[in-house]
Structure 1
Amino acid sequence: MGIDTIKPIEGQFEEVPNYIRHDTRYWPHFKDCIGAIDGTHIKARISPSCQIPYIGRKGEPTQNIMAVCDFNMCFIFAFPGWEGTAHDSRIFLQALRKQQLKFPHPPPGKYYLVDSGYPQMAGFLGPYRGERYHLPEFHRGNHRASGKKEIFNHAHSSLRSVIERTFGVWKKNGQY
């Protein structure tokens, strides 16, 4: 169901999103950007006999979920269910390789924003190597922030919270 439901709308990548077109911090730098890709770890309930591959760096069983959002924060691709030890690049490359997943490849000349956990390749723009990004530097009122860093961080942090709200396991009565 997800493959047929969570997908881009026909012609979606042909126009520049209003979010970019009408903001001088982003225009024209990101006129060819079509969305952002990120992964997040969501707590998972796994039987003790199967937990080991799901135990992430924080010592809890999680699943790693990769998602792609457009600039309206609508999902256009999701790849859930990976064990917590799976690296973002492994999940990403599997999504690109498996034709049946129908990953929405960027059209020629367009690209997605990705974080440093993803490979740098045509159609996928990550942060500058060696550059540290701190969210407080990129608030609208801070004039020192460059547009590229700000939109990268905004897209990255917004996407992560959307993924967590959508796929997260909500805490109820002290249990997940």
Structure 2
Amino acid sequence: MNMDILAEEEEEINRIICVCASIIELYYEKYIHKIPCMDSSYTGNIWLMKLLEGNESRCHNMFRMNKDVFMRLCNDLENIYKLKGSRRICIAEKLGMFLYTLGEGAGNRNVQERFQHSGETVSRYFSELLDVICVMATELIKPLDPEFKNTPAEILGDSRYMPHFKDCIGAIDDIHVQAKISPSEQVPYIGRKGIPTQNIMAVCNFDMQFTFACAGWEGTAHDARVFQSAVQNPTSNFPKPPNGNCV
């Protein structure tokens, strides 16, 4: 009887030892002796530098902006919005990943392969850039004259518009932009276009400069609903005209 108990205890101890050994092996392979997945010598930083040194159209095709604008945006993000590089990724590469994702509609895996970084790294820096760009947008997309004291020169100098539109402060419209949504969440975004879209409302002045933008609404949202939400939300900073003026 005692021999049977001892044998069972020994067997249980051996199982525990095997489980512990397996856990240690997995931990070692995952965190200590990791085999890198992104092992290409043609890194994202090298690709980005070649792009910025090459023909102007290459940068515009990938990032939807020319090289001069890209570099000035990098400087503004660093000096004004205090974006910092990391030990492995500079500000230019962070911005490149962000713009590549937007300009190409690239998924996380495509960006991983292009820039040779892990999915977690790609996701983290995209979120970081998105937060900074949203702050920048609130400072840039706004009326130059928030009180609309003066009649725009484009109205004053054109007899077709003066005096009929002398109190008009801009133009407003909605547009549907195709969106990539996970299949489980697509239904509210599929409206009259038949594909997942966002309903984006924008306001521009007579210099064709955007003074307000509202993005994120589902494609099924009616234009009037988007407009009403922007007007009634005090935090949206919708450019309301003075009494007697119109949009």
With the length of structure 2 as denominator, give the TM-score of the two structures. 0.44
| Separation (CA, whole Å) in 2 of partners of 1:79 and 1:36 | 14
Matches within 5 A, 1:1-176: 1=135, 2-10=137-145, 13-112=148-247
CA deviation vs aligned residue, 1:86-105 (integer Å, no higher than 9, x gap)? 01100000001111111111
Query: Which structure 1 residue ranges, 4+ long, deviate > 4 Å from structure 2?
Result: none
Residue of structure 2 in register with 1:147 after alignment: none
> For residues 66-105 of structure 1, what are the alpha-carbon distances to aligned partners after superposition, in whole Å with 9 as ceiling and x for unaligned?
0110000111110001100001100000001111111111
User: How far apart are the structure 2 equivalents of 1:12 and 1:20?
Assistant: 17
When residues 12 and 98 of structure 1 are mapped into structure 2, their CA distance, relative to the original with a 3 A threshold, is closer
How has the CA–CA distance of structure 1 residues 99 and 11 changed in structure 2, closer, same or farther, with 3 Å as cutoff? Answer: closer
Cα distance in 1 between the residues matched to 2:140 and 2:162: 31
Q: Which amino acid aligns with 1:51?
A: Q
Deviation (angstroms), 1:107: 0.9
| Equivalent-residue separation in structure 2 for 1:69 and 1:58 (angstroms) | 24
User: What count of residue pairs does the alignment treat as equivalent?
Assistant: 112
Structure index of larger Rg: 2
Deviation at 1:11, TM superposition (A): 5.2
CA contact under 8 A between 1:54 and 1:83: conserved in structure 2?
Answer: yes
CA deviation vs aligned residue, 1:134-165 (integer Å, no higher than 9, x gap): xxxxxxxxxxxxxxxxxxxxxxxxxxxxxxxx
Q: 1:54 and 1:69 mapped to 2: Cα distance?
A: 25
Structure whose residues are more often helix by fraction: 2
Contact 1:3 1:101 in 2 (8 A): no
Normalising by structure 1, what TM-score?
A: 0.61
- What is the CA–CA distance in structure 1 between the aligned matches of 2:236 and 2:193, rounded to whole Å? 30
By relative contact order (CA 8 Å, sep 6+), the higher-ranking structure is 1
